[in-house]
Structure 1
Amino acid sequence: MRIALFGATGSTGKFLIQEALRQGHSLSVYARDAQKLQAFHGQIDVVVGNLEDKDAITACLRGSDAVISALGPNGFKVQGDRPVMHGLTHIIAAMKQANIRRLIQISTAAYRDPKDGFAFNVRAFALLFQIIARKGFEDIRATAELIAKSDLEWTLVRIPNLQDGPAAGAIDTGWYGKARLGMKLSRGNLAKFLVEQVSDTQFIRAAPGIADH
């Protein structure tokens, strides 16, 4: 399949690109700075633009079967009002025009799924994040709510603390307060799970939490 990938110049990006290529997919990668993707020259197609550039977003989506978004707030310094949510608004509109249905988006416990139970450690972590990075927290939650209200075949992949490292070992998946979910996840395991969702239908219109086993 051909995947349109957004957010690939962040810390998880190289793992996502490597995993998608390993699984045999072709990639159209959206970036503000193509130089950050030089390591993959000749292996991927790069489209340069920002999240307000509707024409560039449309170009990135052309011919794709699915979209993976690793877009998220840039640390504690969020510029503007909910920039990721507004970017996804443009991406979703372009997806509908191109008749692309599958969207996989990274999220966190800032978004609460109706299937969740109560998990003290998860709620405490989310509350702490809300206190110290309010604008980022609100952007993540608003982005998830926007996607969940769409009629796309979406999956929100809710993650704990990320650590650099390859895909290794098993992961746990499920709903907070109901499944055993730890507080750490390797970027390699995240990338593997995200790419697998392109063809996996188990979590369509759902927001599973995932963590290293």
Structure 2
Amino acid sequence: MKIALFGGTGPTGRHIIEEALRQGYELSVFTRDAGNLSAFDGKVEVVVGDLNNREAIRACIAGADAVISALGPNSLKARDKRPIMRGVGTIISVMEELKIRRLIQVSTAIYRDPKDAFDLPSQAFVMLFRLIVHNAYDDIRATADLVSKSRLDWTLVRIPNLRDGPATGQLVAGWYGKTKLGTKLSRGNLAQFLVDQLEATVYVRAAPAIADEGSL
């Protein structure tokens, strides 16, 4: 099984690559600079381009069975209007063109799943985030809305504050206001959860929230 990965050159992306390779998947990884993936020479297919380049996005996705997107605002002071939403919109369009259905997208509590109940801590964080970095908030919200309204077999994986750390397998998944969720998540646990969703069906067309077990 081959996976197309977007957002694979940051700290989280490297965990995703390592986890996918560990589980035996083939990978094509999208990047602006091939040098960022030199540690994986010979292990992954590298496609160079930016999110405005439809043909490069198509080259990354062609031949894949599923797409993982860890794309998110790379600057809390980004000046462009909804750059991630526009890029993910192109990814969705190319997936539909190529008849590839499985999309796993990283998101946050900004998106509300119908199964959620009221949860003061997560909503207080969302309100503060919206006030401080409105453009990033708007981009994350618009991206999640776009994914959730698509015809794909999507999963939005909503995350809290990320920290560096390996996969421990000790995480909690569920719904805000119904599941006891902490405020921290290791990048290794996130990577493992994302890759595990490739062949799982329990969260298709749903947006589980995840956190490290026992985190405050």
Same fold (TM over 0.5): yes
Shift of 1:120: 0.7
Q: Which residue of structure 2 lines up, in the alignment, with residue 28 of structure 1?
A: 28
Q: Secondary structure at the match of 1:91?
A: helix
Shift of 1:65: 0.3
Q: Does 1:104 align with 2:104?
A: yes
Shift of 1:9: 1.0
1:1-213 equivalences in 2 (<5 Å):
1-213=1-213
CA RMSD for the aligned pairs? 0.7
CA deviations over 1:63-85 (Å, ceiling 9, x no partner): 10000000000131213100000
CA distance in 1, matches of 2:111, 2:25: 29
CA distance in 1, matches of 2:36, 2:174: 34
TM-score, normalization by structure 2? 0.97
Please tell me the residue identity of whatever aligns with 1:86.
R
CA distance in 1, matches of 2:96, 2:41: 29
Please tell me the residue identity of whatever aligns with 1:96.
E
Stretches of structure 1 that go unaligned for 5 or more consecutive residues are none
Please tell me the residue identity of whatever aligns with 2:76.
F
CA distance in 2, matches of 1:154, 1:70: 13
Shift of 1:198: 0.5
Shift of 1:169: 4.0
CA deviations over 1:18-41 (Å, ceiling 9, x no partner): 000000000000001110000000
Shift of 1:11: 2.0
Shift of 1:114: 1.3
Shift of 1:113: 1.1
Q: Secondary structure at the match of 1:103?
A: strand
CA distance in 2, matches of 1:190, 1:178: 20
TM-score, normalization by structure 1? 0.99
Shift of 1:205: 0.1
CA distance in 2, matches of 1:53, 1:12: 23
Aligned length: 213
Shift of 1:62: 1.1
CA distance in 2, matches of 1:22, 1:169: 14
Q: Secondary structure at the match of 1:12?
A: helix
CA deviations over 1:72-104 (Å, ceiling 9, x no partner): 001312131000000011100100111100000
CA distance in 1, matches of 2:80, 2:169: 39
> What is the identity percentage for the equivalent residue pairs of Structure 1 and Structure 2?
60
CA distance in 2, matches of 1:79, 1:35: 26
CA distance in 2, matches of 1:100, 1:145: 19
